[in-house]
A and B are shown apart, each in its own frame.
Chain A
Amino acid sequence: MSQINEKEPFTKEVLKGMLKDMILIRSFEETVEKLFQEGKIHGTMHLCVGQEATAVGACLPLSDNDKITSTHRGHGHSIAKGTGIRRMMAELLGKETGYCKGKGGSMHIADLEVGNLGANGIVAAGLPLATGAALTSQMKEEGYVVVSFFGDGATNEGAFHESLNLASVWKLPVVFFCENNLYGMSGSIKEMVNIENIAERGAAYGIPGVTIDGNNVKEVAETTQQAVNRAREGKGPTLIEAQTYRWKGHSRSDAKKYRTRDEEKEWRKNKDPITRMKLELLEGNVLSEEDIAEIENEVTKEIEEAVKFAEESKEPDLDSLMTDIFA
């Protein structure tokens, strides 16, 4: 992904790229789920199906120099930031060719070369790391911005509050990007906070807080662009709350007793970020049905290649167990 032209942000090529990335993320997640069911992936995983617009929209304004920190639900962020799906898939299969040589798995995919500072298995842990990476940018005058993704559940961690305050008082180039998908593991955010919108918490730290439709990819991109500009100009952080929904359970063990099937149906049928974007592009005559079919075919091919690459890759040698502990 490269930084978009602000005068004409949504050219056909950009829009096509955004749609493709969203379809790629969904297809990746659905494939991963299938591989899990087939017993080819072990452990656990947290899928972001339904949340594709937040990852793609938020990463659109970022260049390769800009950085992100991600979460346990991080596959979409990685893909949107330019982390390749072949080595991601290999990592999920625990292979030596994976981004982490098979040592990290789903919750620790990192690709420092494209500014992906890593998924994280600890809720809210990415915020302080992002704050520190932004401090490097400020101290070394590197000009990059860091976008820190986290979920609604993370906003009740001390690290969230301390990081917003620290980044605010030091005017660090960081964007705090909350994907509010309405639930922690099972806890409804309504039962966990006594405020209407999480974005209100920005006021406590003297930074802008904005609530947006996280399933509208253009709105996500535009809002993030403004926050990125503000950060680059040395004006400090912004808190963005993008409201979205995860279609799947929290992880593999989730029976989804805490929410209704009707609610799920509503989000799937009427608020699917991919369907919405497709319709918008078709109605605006930006893309044709054929164009979309072509994108979908490309994605299918790329995913097949990634799975093949991962399956054919070798397992790590046992003697790699004790390497990479110290630099």
Chain B
Amino acid sequence: MREITYLEAIRESMSQIMRDDKNVFIMGEDIGVYGGAFGLTNGMVEEFGPFRVRNTPISEAAVSGAAVGAAMTGMRPILEFQFSDFVMIAMDNIVNQAAKNRYMFGGKAKVPVVFRLPGGSGAGFAAQHSQSLEAWMTHVPGLKIVQPSSAYDAKGLMKAAINDDNPVLFYEHKLLYSTKGEVPEEAYEINIGEAAIKRSGEDLTIVATGIMVSRSIEAAEKLADENIDVEIVDPRTLVPLDEATIIESVKKTNRVLVVYESVQRSGYGAEIASMIAESEAFDYLDAQVGRLGGKATPIPYNPKLEKAAVPQVEDIIRKVKELIGK
């Protein structure tokens, strides 16, 4: 099968849907001829025109609300944030409006909007452009949170996100943009709420999200040389969470490590860990539920410091060995 990048997969998915559905359009800063901060929308304004690929003023508070208002009245907007960190300026519209309108109005409104959020560290952008704050959003009832880790997942989940009648926060990882993977040319959908087993193994389950999926796979390959057989579950979507797949995997391997990039304290991995501890999988555990997340520090600029702030392959290997007792 042909290979394309994660970035191309997202663009292709949006473009395919926009060809079919006139109600789908995209807004964002510099997404026109510039192609967006990461070039993700390159070529889209040429194909769809400036009416459907809308360059906006630098006004996250108005534009995010306009996306919600447009969604409530029959459009299916996609809003690109240049960096997920800028979502703070749009929080009212996401948390107080998009997430709650349907409930507050007694089930009357639909808010089919996708907020695209490039997140994560590792690109040298320092503290205000590198955060992983998806856990904040998972705390808010009424929002769906998607976090693809591969080009294939990104394409299928983008389709599902656009077709969903609820507000979806779509967390992309900047370091994944250039990674390649096999992606079918035709449009396809991956169900929101369906985890994927990215590697099958017997000795320990790693539940990893976002960029930590590929790092965990790399760690698992190295651990295999030492006869440690790791299974990797990628929830792919945080809300809703495919608890069953995680629980089944833990019941099989009897050990689990949750790996995530965001600050470990109160990160979404904490939720996954406690879900496992409270589930039927608890009785199958041969070791405590392990967690490995980012350090409780703003993301620093210096490359060595930046790497040290979030889990790397070696950290994952060390933690797995600790849990296995080797």
Which residues of chain A have a CB within 8 Å of any CB of chain B?
Answer: 67, 69, 98-104, 108, 110, 112, 117-118, 120-122, 125, 127-137, 139-140, 158-159, 162-163, 165-166, 169-170, 323-327
Contacts and interface: CB of A to CB of B under 8 A. Distances in A.
Nearest to A115: B73
Contacts of A118: 101, 104-105, 109
Given A110-B109, A140-B74, A159-B61, A128 B68 contact: yes
Contact of B69 (A108, A128, A139): A128
Given A117-B72, A122-B92, A125-B93, A166 B66 contact: yes
B39 to A, nearest CB: 24
Given A112-B109, A128-B66, A132-B66, A325 B59 contact: no
B69 A125 contact: no
Contacts of A170: 54
B34 to A, nearest CB: 17
B62 interface: yes
A98 B62 contact: no
A110 B110 CA distance: 13
Contacts of B93: 125, 128-129
A100 B105 contact: yes
Contacts of B52: 139
In this complex, which of B59, B68, B109, B112 has the most chain A Cβ atoms within 10 angstroms of its Cβ? B59
A112 B108 contact: yes
Given A125-B92, A128-B69, A104 B105 contact: yes
A100 B107 CA distance: 7
A135 B70 contact: yes
A169 B59 CA distance: 12
> Which 3 A/B pairs are nearest by Cβ-Cβ distance?
A128-B65, A132-B69, A162-B62
Contacts of A100: 104-106, 108
B161 to A, nearest CB: 13
Interface in B30-66: 51-52, 54, 56-57, 59, 61-66
Contacts of A117: 69, 72-73
B67 interface: yes
Contact of B59 (A103, A125, A136, A166): A166
Contacts of A120: 97
Interface string B226-241: 0000000000000000
B166 interface: yes
Nearest to A110: B105
17 contacts: A99-B105, A103-B105, A122-B96, A128-B62, A128-B64, A128-B66, A132-B67, A135-B69, A135-B70, A136-B74, A139-B51, A140-B23, A163-B62, A325-B141, A327-B111, A327-B165, A327-B166
Given A100-B105, A112-B105, 12 more contacts: A100-B108, A112-B72, A118-B109, A122-B96, A128-B62, A129-B68, A131-B62, A134-B69, A139-B75, A162-B62, A324-B102, A326-B142
A136 B67 CA distance: 10
B67 to A, nearest CB: 6
In this complex, which of A100, A108, A324 has the most chain B Cβ atoms within 10 angstroms of its Cβ? A324
A121 B101 CA distance: 11
B71 interface: yes
B25 interface: yes
B166 A165 contact: no
Given A118-B104, A135-B66, A128 B72 contact: no
A158 B111 CA distance: 23
Given A122-B97, A133-B70, A326-B142, A163 B65 contact: yes
A170 B57 CA distance: 10
B98 to A, nearest CB: 10
A326 B56 CA distance: 29
Given A128-B62, A128-B65, A135-B70, A326 B102 contact: yes
Given A128-B66, A131-B66, A132-B66, A324 B103 contact: yes
A159 B92 CA distance: 10
Contacts of B141: 325
A136 B108 CA distance: 18
Interface in B99-150: 101-112, 141-142, 144
Nearest to B112: A327
A92 to B, nearest CB: 13
Given A122-B97, A324-B107, A136 B69 contact: yes
